Amino acid sequence: MRYETVVVNGYSVQIPVYEQRKLSIKHKAQIVNKMQKLLVSYARENFSTATLRVCNDGSAASMLAMYASDLSHNANALQQFVQDSNVVALHNALRLQDTAVREHFYNVLQYIEHNMLVPQQNCVC
């Protein structure tokens, strides 16, 4: 890590400088693994038999459509990431979703940011 010296109230202080890292094969494998597990858990939580029983009367069909759309959005983002290794695009796809969905995939966002794989201005964790 690189440090920069700044003067604060007459005192020299060294602060760490954020430097975006390149995506390694290990990072990519970790992200894919986390995303796959979270996609499965999101589907299980939101498409459980209890949820489907509640929706049999048609009153919650729009809720199921929303969950399907969220799941599809993240699955497509993962597929694109596997193809092009664009971690910034995956990060943006996750961070710009509704709060509940974003929170479900928080571990992936946190992993990406803590390993400094996106520009600092994109960080949300």
Q: How confident is the model at residue 3 (pLDDT cuts 50, 70, 90)?
A: confident
State residue 35's pLDDT score: 96
Cβ neighbours, 10 Å, residue 117: 21
Mean pLDDT, rounded, for 104-121: 91
pLDDT, average across residues 45-71: 72
Q: What is the pLDDT of residue 48?
A: 74
Q: CA–CA separation, 112 vs 125, rounded Å?
A: 10
- State pLDDT tens for residues 12-29: 888 776 678 899 999 999
Helix, strand or coil for residue 120? helix
**Residue written as tokens 């400088």?**
17
Report the alpha-carbon distance of residue 2 to residue 19 in Å, rounded: 8
The arithmetic mean of pLDDT across residues 20-39, rounded, is 94
Phi-psi region of 18 (alpha: psi -120 to 50; beta: other; left: phi over 0): beta
Helix segments in 1-125, DSSP class H: 25-46, 49-55, 61-84, 87-95, 99-104, 106-114
Q: Which residues contact 82 (CB under 8 A, 6 or more apart)?
A: 32
Residue-level pLDDT at 53: 62
Reported as a pLDDT band with limits 50, 70 and 90, residue 55 is low
